[in-house]
Amino acid sequence: MPVLVFVESAEGKVKKTSLEAVAYAHAMGQGVTAIALGNVDKEELEALGTYGAQKVLHASDSKLNDGIIQAYASVLVKALQDEQADILVLANSSLGTPVAARVAAKISASLASNVVELPNTSAGFAVKRSIYTGKAFMQVELKNQKKVIGIKKNAAEAKAVGLPVQATPYAVTLNDADFAVKITSSEKATGEVLLPEANIVVSGGRGMKGPEHWGILEELAKTLHAATGCSKPVSDMHWRPHHEHVGQTGVKVAPQLYIAVGISGAIQHLAGVNSSKCIVVINKDADAPFFKAADYGIVGDAFDVVPKLTAAIKAIK
């Protein structure tokens, strides 16, 4: 019996977190059917086979381009029935998390979010979840036959394990009731690398002393092909756009590398970055709390350290 994976996309491109979801489902060893909704490039769909999908469904109706949660949930419930799948895997995200909850409610499934490891099936079906903003973990047993699993970023490595597969058109009958809620406007983050998908993030805090000094961080980010972020006070003072705010009440990130420049390390900020694989802190205050959470720290003036760091990286490249 296959595992169904909901694949998210943006501007026709499959999100990296969804590639991780496909890889996670493949590692479960039960066969993988991936389903994408709305406008997605043909090459992107075919590439899902590379990460472990044996079958790819594409519901291309233009009504599914806008990410209406109710409609997405209805399509996924039908796909679960058609594919005779008892497990849905998807990435935790601003779209995936509410979709997961709605699907679980519709089919009376056990639901687990923020899952960080493959299920333990030695005695039932249990998963390990990240809780308390990454400060602890808990084991949860999913007892219902049908299960919905939302995985945390970096829970699986998106690596090539197979060959591309041809996508199969998936026809759906959309109910007007699923579109009772409409998105009237949206504000999308811009930039070469978007914060939620970034493998490397360069963030700045009040230690940067003003928006006019952000150029050195942008240059470092460009050199590393990284996204830029900031602390809450910085976005509150309108030094940087709100969508760059990293923290408990902003964007939670889990990159391979997080570089914090001039950020003291308040608990609210740490809650949004503590899932990062490696944290580097640059601060002239040797007593800054962030150093306690850092893997590497540099005590020094950002306006001296960052340009030298950027130059050194360029020299290596």
Q: What is the pLDDT of residues 261-282, one digit of tens each?
A: 999 999 999 999 988 999 999 9
For residues 249 and 56, give the distance between their C-alpha atoms in angstroms, rounded to a whole number: 35
What is the structure's pLDDT at 182? 77
Mean pLDDT throughout 42-51?
96
Confidence of residue 146 (pLDDT cuts 50, 70, 90): very high
* Residue 190 pLDDT > 70: no
H/E element holding 252? Answer: none
Confidence of residue 292 (pLDDT cuts 50, 70, 90): very high
* Residue 192 pLDDT > 70: no
What is the structure's pLDDT at 187? 66
* % of the chain surpassing 90 pLDDT: 80
| 248 annotated as a binding-site residue | no
CA dihedral 187, 192, 195, 198 (to 10 degrees): 150
| 36 annotated as a binding-site residue | no
| 311 annotated as a binding-site residue | no
What is the structure's pLDDT at 132? 83
CA distances from 49 to 44, 88, 160, 170 (A): 10, 17, 9, 17
For residues 299 and 287, give the distance between their C-alpha atoms in angstroms, rounded to a whole number: 9
What is the structure's pLDDT at 174? 87
| 156 annotated as a binding-site residue | no
What is the structure's pLDDT at 147? 98
| 268 annotated as a binding-site residue | yes
Strand pairing report for 9-10 and 13-14? antiparallel
CA distances from 143 to 123, 124, 127, 146, 163 (A): 11, 8, 11, 8, 34
* Residue 237 pLDDT > 70: yes
For residues 29 and 243, give the distance between their C-alpha atoms in angstroms, rounded to a whole number: 38
- The overall average pLDDT reported for the chain is 93
| 283 annotated as a binding-site residue | yes
Confidence of residue 189 (pLDDT cuts 50, 70, 90): low
What is the structure's pLDDT at 58? 98
For residues 22 and 127, give the distance between their C-alpha atoms in angstroms, rounded to a whole number: 17
Provide the sign of the torsion angle of the four alpha carbons 240, 218, 222, 274, taken in this order: negative
In the DSSP assignment, the letter for residue 284 is S
What are the two backbone dihedrals, phi and then psi, of residue 40, each rounded to the nearest 5 degrees? -140, 135
Domains and CATH numbers, the chain: 3-179 (3.40.50.620), 195-316 (3.40.50.1220)
| 264 annotated as a binding-site residue | yes
| 266 annotated as a binding-site residue | yes
